[in-house]
Amino acid sequence: MILGVDELLNVVDVEATCWDGPVPDGAVSEIIEIGLTVVDLTRRQRVGRHRILVRPERSEVSAFCTELTGLTAAEVAGGVGFAEACRLLAAEHRAGERPWASWGDYDRLQFTRQCRCGAVGYPFGARHTNAKARFTEAHGLRRRPGMAQALELAGLPLEGRHHSGEDDAWNIAALVLQLVERGHWASS
């Protein structure tokens, strides 16, 4: 089914706690940043850029994670709790109503796991599109590229910092818009 031209699409990218090696005892990977870019499919442009910092509850931001994402423990300590982040997604970004996309399934699965473990209502609706799969199919590739490689293949610049949820959502939205322009964007 082709997305209606009057629909807004939420493009989401998350960053989560991570380690260079095994997960420390008692820790779990938790979302610490939610990047969200709103795409107006009618006007075929990015119309909103958002960032929600999320305070981890069962893990800490490692030095490796800070090096990768640029996020520090002090910065995310000032974020909202995960339940509040989900409430914000639903209330301010209509996450349960709008179709949404992410680069691969990691973001969707991370939300599913974290909502289930924390007894938090899943903020998104059922209309999710794996933009990485769509890009791979549209370009006739055998292997699914990472976002930075996809930008290079598409002739688009990497804007901002790779592994920043806000910047990655913005860049993924550019890839989505290119797919829309070429007639390769369909909802799931």
Please give the pLDDT value at position 4: 46
Residue 29 placed within a domain: yes
CATH of the domain at 48: 3.30.420.10
Model-level pTM?
Answer: 0.94
Is 188 among the domain residues?
no
**Average confidence (pLDDT) over 146-164:** 98
Within a domain: residue 187? no
pLDDT at site 184: 94
Cα maximum dimension of the chain: 49
Strand partners, 100: 10, 128
Confidence of residue 187 (pLDDT cuts 50, 70, 90): low
Domain membership of residue 24 as a residue range:
8-181
| Number of neighbours of residue 92 by Cβ within 10 angstroms | 11
Q: What is the pLDDT of residue 6?
A: 52
Q: How many domains does the chain have?
A: 1
More confident residue, 6 or 59: 59
For residue 49, is it within any domain?
Answer: yes
Torsion from C-alpha of 172, 174, 177, 182, nearest 10 degrees: -100
In a domain, 19, yes or no: yes
pLDDT at residue 160 above 50? yes
pLDDT mean across residues, the chain: 94
Residue 186 inside a domain? The answer is no
Model confidence over 111-128: pLDDT tens digits? Answer: 999 999 888 999 999 999
Please state the rounded mean pLDDT for residues 151-161: 98
Cβ neighbors of 158 (< 8 A, separation 6 or more) are: 148, 151, 171
pLDDT digits (tens, 9 = 90+) for 41-53: 999 999 999 999 9
Q: For position 73, what pLDDT does the model report?
A: 97
